Structure 1
Amino acid sequence: MSTIDYSDKIPNNVNLSEDRTLQRALEQWQPNYLKWWDDMGPDGSQNFDVYLRTAVSVDPQGWAQFGHVKMPDYRWGIFLNPAEQDRKIHFGDHKGEAAWQDVPGEYRANLRRIIVTQGDTEPASVEQQRHLGLTAPSQYDLRNLFQVNVEEGRHLWAMVYLLHKYFGKDGREEGEALLERNSGNADNPRILEAFNEETPDWLSFFMFTYFTDRDGKFQLCALAESSFDPLARTTKFMLTEEAHHMFVGESGVSRVINRTCQVMNELKTDDPAKLRAAGVIDLPTIQRYLNFHFSVTIDLFGADESSNAATFYSTGLKGRYEEGKRTDDHVLKGQFYKVLNVQNGQLVEKEVPMLNALNEVLRDDYIKDSVGGVERWNKVIEKAGIPFRLKVPHKAFHRNIGLLKGVKVAPDGRVVSEAEWNANRDNWLPSEGDRAFVASLMGRVVDPGKFANWIAPPVMGINRQPVDFEYVRFA
């Protein structure tokens, strides 16, 4: 007998109630997921009533239903964007053929690997952020953290659905393994290194949701082009939720900057020591956090030259960002792209076949997009009349993958000696002292409408609610 009410407990548009095989797989997986959420999800929050957005269908009315809910009772649904009739493959060697509704046998291993790698990032970020609720700067921010967490959980469900539905026993085993790996675990870590980093404070969280969730946007956009139609439709719906995560990051950093600039003008100083004594985060420290999170995130795109990237594209598994808007032949054979290398102590460009440089193409698209938000942060500083600009560091700075791995490059793009790097490291990346100072500011503020001293309130609340709305009801 079924243990789950499929229309209520797992909102979906994949006919779950009619798919007995999938039901059995999910009935086995769901208790393990809830145990993982209890063990590794937001710390000490299980009894809070949180004002959350829940997707119960893909139409505008059902996509965003708001209400107070206890997080273990959140309805993690499975949604695919509506099917595009007679969809055709529009890039790679199969261009012009009908999109696949099932997994072609010869691409099974690569498709599974892509889905598992994407799926692994979702619970990883929940694990990285699990203690942040204990130091939230406001109820508004606490609610946003929890919204990000439950949506990362839903994105895990989306990937597990694909594994269970299309990959049989292998898929079920991979679904279990997604709950067994843990961020930062020495014996069984998450697949991608950025998802094993700690997110120890709220400035890190805001930078993570701005930079690393933006990587998620670009990876999902590339997968939304996939010739495997269920993957394309799944990731398109995930993108509607990813936008909120980036909003949390961009607006969060903006509010930190806004508060710092207020205090700079009140005290008429840009001295970091005086600003820290006043309980705000100085702009040079914000720049160092930016440098760290940007550089760690651009490593997520992979090696500059990659035969895997070429294979994924040519076989139609993963496209480029906004593939349909590009005006080339969408096959790319005989085309070239420039990547960076080091010769005689200098960064130089070299041309490589574009198919092998597709990680770099996606990284460059991401960098252009990232710069836009940083410029919006600079407008906050400019409006305050302060002569300081935040900058995205050079893409060769602090890299740990590909041709630039371990090359010592300053934020301005100069290749430097080991000695110069060591002398300046704490000027370019957060020092232990920076992290200890930021950690010292992390007290918990839970009264509606109240905010920690180091961050400004938002301009408006969530879903047209006032800023001092009771976003979280504590047990």
Structure 2
Amino acid sequence: MPEKIDYDSKIPNNVSLADDRRLQRALEGWQPKFMNWWAEMGPTLETHGVYLRTAVSVGRDGWAHFDHVNVPDYRWGIFLAERDPDRTIAFGEHKGEPAWQQVPGEYRADLQRLIVIQGDTEPASVEQQKLLGLSAPSLYDLRNLFQVNVEEGRHLWAMVYLLHAYFGREGREEAEGLLHRNSGSPDTPRILGAFNEETADWLAFYMFTYFTDRDGKYQLGTLKESAFDPLSRTCEFMLKEEAHHMFVGTTGVDRVVQRSAELIREHDTMDIAAHGGIPLDLIQKYINFHYTVSLDLFGSETSTNAANYYTAGLKGRWMEPRRKDDHQLTDDSAELRRPREDGTWETDELQKILLLNLDLRGEYIADCQTGVKRWNRILEDAGISFRLALPHPGFNRQVGINSGHHITPDGTIVDEQTWQDGQKHWLPSSEDFAFVRSLMHPVYERGKIASWVAPPRQGINGKPFDYEYVYL
């Protein structure tokens, strides 16, 4: 299969689409519906060219091409990582067998469901971020927003290709459904809760790209291990793009913390709201909210579904080949901490295969911690004693064993009244959201930036911060 991407086709691809006329016609029939969805649900702000990167090949050096592109003319397409003809299945009951090039009948429904759920998250985040361009803090940030949006659009194409190519009429119907559901819609909401939340301000956008896109990284990492090779190769390529989204989140929060620290020092007070900055305790509340909503995306701690997917070879663990066990997990056990009605915690020992969601969540939590360390280093370097932290994984949960309990950020199980009294200290209130929104004045002048966020250390692709990243 050619590694080069064919940009002369109506739908850019490296899957030899021209050789499959039926599939090509089906996808060309879906394309105008995608464009209608983009026009209606994509970014509100009109632009005349955004400095975007476009993949030119799927190898390591495939990110070479940067240019100003009119966003609706972006060349969305279908790109799979190169095929390894010797690839074998790394886990489950089919371990050691050749990877599947077609969908086995007995796993058809489960694979389709996994692809639809992944596919549904991609357009959802574009819908959530629809209005953000109207309040961008700089042209640099505006450009990053559009880059994230067009890549989420391409990730939707990635899943739609699989549905069209391998799942027949049902797959085509599911591909239509991905455009009919809308984030936050009362009648046809997106499948997962976090993707129906509003992303109403740029601090929320940085948190979303840090925490929720990081969940995406881990979900894609498990699907990259799939025995179904086209899904594996699709996810491998998507992970390259996902890295940029998390970079936007990590450095975005960096820059907010940096600016808040500068204002604290300049005015010698932690109460910097009056000086147009975001107080550190409010940043902590945003962390608490976005982190816990993202933890819900991992599902219930114990899951027979996840166990079945693993045994079947549909969905592996993060970095499956590096794990030092038998990759079947039938005899291994692991511990689960659960809250009790009397306000204490107990530890259960369960089969490891039933705790795969917990295993993945553990990898995610360790990764999230690295960002918190970065942000605290900024505060330390500024001589500020305040420290940010991830709350206890039982805090503010709607899914799993903690969802029926009131658990504080430090992991104490409390009663309803204590929870109600504490919420305003732990989670953003309507007043907090209103305050952050009040800071969101657009700055579209080259080289200028909003007063609540620091400029980036470097621009995009070697360009300076004051480059004209977006033509308005």
TM-score (norm 1): 0.97
Identity %: 59
The total of aligned residue pairs comes to 466
Matches within 5 A, 1:416-455: 416-455=414-453
Listed one character per residue, the Cα deviations across residues 201-257 of structure 1 (whole Å, up to 9, x for unaligned) are 000000000000000000000000000000000000000000000000010011001
Q: Distance in 1 between matches of 2:62 and 2:111?
A: 30
Q: Given that residues 181 and 189 in structure 1 are in contact (C-alpha distance below 8 angstroms), is that contact kept between their aligned partners in structure 2? A: yes
In the TM superposition, what whole-angstrom CA distance separates every residue of 1:240-287 from its partner, at most 9, and x where no partner exists?
A: 0000000000100110010010010011111x2xx1010000000000
**Structure 1, 12-21 or 181-190: larger mean CA deviation:** 12-21
Counterparts of residues 326-345 of structure 1 (less than 5 Å): 326-343=323-340, 344-345=342-343
Q: Is the 8 A contact 1:11 1:56 kept in 2?
A: no
- The match for 2:174 is 174
Structure 1 equivalent of residue 25 of structure 2: 24
Distance in 1, Cα, partners of 2:428 & 2:112? 37
- Pairwise mapping of residues 149-168 of structure 1 onto structure 2 (< 5 A)? 149-168=149-168
1:413 is matched with: 411
How big is the shift at 1:92? 0.3
Residue 350 of structure 1 aligns to a residue in which SS? Answer: strand
Do the aligned partners of 1:16 and 1:23 also contact (CA within 8 Å) in 2?
A: yes
1:13 corresponds to which residue? 14
Report if aligned partners of 2:59, 2:81 keep a CA contact under 8 Å in 1.
Answer: no
Offset of residue 63 of structure 1: 3.0
- The aligned residue for residue 463 of structure 1 is 461
Displacement after TM superposition at 1:56 (Å): 2.8
**Separation in 2, partners of 1:349, 1:254:** 36
Say which SS state the counterpart of residue 22 (structure 1) adopts: helix
Question: Letter of the aligned partner of 1:385 in structure 2?
Answer: G
The equivalent of 1:346 in structure 2 is: 344
Partner of 1:240: 240
CA–CA distance in 2 between the matches of 1:261 and 1:86? 53
Task: Quote the offset at 1:11 in angstroms.
Answer: 2.1
* Aligned amino acid, residue 314 of structure 1: T
- RMSD, matched Cα: 1.0
Pairs within 5 Å for 1:93-132: 93-132=93-132
Which letter maps to 1:455?
V
CA distance in 2, matches of 1:48, 1:198: 27
Matched position secondary structure for 2:368 = helix
Aligned positions of 1:85-96 closer than 5 A: 85-96=85-96
Letter in 1 for 2:274: A
Q: How far off is 1:352 after superposition?
A: 1.5
Whichever residue aligns with residue 284 of structure 1, its letter is D
Contact 1:291 1:393 in 2 (8 A): yes
* Contact 1:6–1:17 (Cα < 8 Å) also in 2: no
Q: Which residue of 2 aligns with 1:54?
A: 54
- Aligned pairs for 1:330-409 (under 5 A) are 330-343=327-340, 344-409=342-407
Q: Deviations over 1:150-209 (max 9, x none)?
A: 000000000000000000111100000000000000100000000000000000000000
Question: How far apart, in 1, do the equivalents of 2:62 and 2:344 lie?
Answer: 54
2-side partners of 1:371 and 1:351: how far apart? 26
Residue 406 of structure 2 aligns to a residue in which SS? coil
Unaligned runs of 5+ in 2: 1-5
CA contact (8 A) 1:398 1:406 kept: no
**Which of 305, 319, 324 is residue 302 of structure 2 equivalent to?**
305
In structure 1, C-alpha distance between the alignment counterparts of 2:131 and 2:336, rounded to whole Å: 39
Unaligned 5+ runs, structure 1: none
Deviation at 1:72, TM superposition (A): 0.5
Please give the per-residue CA displacement for 1:46-67, whole angstroms capped at 9, x wherever unaligned. x420000111321344434100
Alpha carbons 1:56, 1:77 under 8 Å: kept:
no
TM-score where L is the length of structure 2:
0.97
Counterpart-to-counterpart distance in 2, 1:231 and 1:422: 44
The corresponding residue for 1:36 is 37
**Which residue number corresponds to residue 209 of structure 1?**
209
SS across alignment from 1:216: helix
Hey, what's the Cα distance between the residues in 1 that align with 2:277 and 2:199? Answer: 19
Paired residue secondary structure (2:348): strand
Paired amino acid for 2:91: F
Match of 2:313 in 1: 316
Structure 2 CA distance for aligned equivalents of residues 6 and 68 of structure 1: 17
Instruction: Say if 2:253 is the partner of 1:253.
Output: yes
2:390 is aligned with what amino acid?
V
Contact 1:183–1:195 (CA under 8 A) maintained in structure 2: yes
Q: Is contact 1:340–1:403 with CA below 8 Å preserved after alignment? A: no
- Matched-pair contact (CA < 8 Å) for 1:11–1:57: no
Are 1:147 and 2:147 matched, yes or no?
Answer: yes
2:11–2:28 CA contact under 8 A, matched in 1: no
Superposed CA deviations along residues 432-465 of structure 1, whole A, max 9, x for unmatched, are: 1110100000011001110000000000000000
Task: Kindly provide the amino acid, as one letter, of the partner of residue 68 in structure 1.
Answer: H
What SS is found at the alignment partner of 1:472? Answer: coil
